[in-house]
């Protein structure tokens, strides 16, 4: 186990009603997209935004303040930074950038994969991956129909850059047993 704490500039903490999802940004794969997500998270842009499109066995999509799938931030759209499948693939826990049919239209909307989706490989930008809290991702309310639109969706309580809490290792000098006189 590593003693290193994740750097705050490459880690996001996404809070939902069910707990915290820790996401590692991957600027080596998509520098502009990773920076966009980090910048918007630092601004508090994602706070209160819904997971408006959630498809069982596929993905949960959020990042649209309008909750319609058509909204974005005040920043310009980003050029595609598609990752070659030989370098990274859409697997369970992968975080990708949503876009329209225009490959250069990503702005603020993102998705987290529930399962592998080879059809997305090389077609969408991978900007991060869940490093803890997939059990929380699995609890996000699902939508209905083929488009996965969610009625009364779960929301992002907050999403901020930050280091994940590190549990003390055994023998680290921290006594986890309750005091007898407590």
Please state the pTM of the whole predicted model.
0.86
**CA 171-173-176 angle, 5° bins:** 85
Sequence spans of domains, the chain: 17-161
The closest alpha carbon to 65, from 107, 32, 11, 10, belongs to 107
CATH topology of domain 17-161: Cyclophilin (2.40.100)
Please give the DSSP secondary-structure letter assigned to residue 95.
Answer: E
**Token pair belonging to 69:** 């799938």
CB neighbour class for 130 (10 Å; exposed up to 12, middle 13-18, buried from 19)? buried
pLDDT tens digits for range 62-84: 999 999 999 999 999 999 999 89
Give the pLDDT of residue 182. Answer: 36
Tokens, residue 47: 């706070």
Mean pLDDT of the chain: 88
Q: Helices then strands (H, E): number in the chain?
A: 2, 8
Identify any residues that bridge with 59 across adjacent strands, giving them in sequence order: 55, 113
Of the pLDDT bands very low, low, confident and very high (cuts 50, 70, 90), residue 9 is: confident
């Amino acid at each position: 186990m590593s003693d290193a704490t994740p750097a705050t500039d490459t880690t996001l903490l996404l809070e939902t009603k069910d707990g915290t999802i820790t996401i590692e940004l991957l600027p080596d794969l998509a520098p502009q997209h990773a920076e966009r997500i980090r910048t918007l998270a630092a601004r508090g842009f994602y706070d209160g935004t819904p997971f408006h499109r959630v498809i069982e066995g596929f993905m949960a999509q959020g990042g649209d303040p309008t909750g319609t799938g058509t909204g974005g931030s005040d920043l310009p759209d980003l050029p595609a930074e598609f990752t070659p499948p030989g370098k990274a693939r859409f697997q369970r826990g992968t975080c990708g950038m949503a876009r329209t049919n225009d490959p250069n239209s990503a702005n603020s909307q993102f998705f987290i994969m529930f399962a592998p989706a080879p059809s997305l490989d090389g077609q969408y930008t991978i900007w991060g991956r869940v490093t803890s809290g997939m059990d929380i991702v699995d609890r996000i309310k699902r939508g209905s129909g083929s488009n996965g639109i969610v009625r009364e969706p779960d929301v992002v309580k907050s999403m901020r850059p930050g280091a994940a809490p590190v549990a003390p290792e055994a023998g680290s000098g921290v006594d986890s047993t309750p005091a007898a006189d407590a």
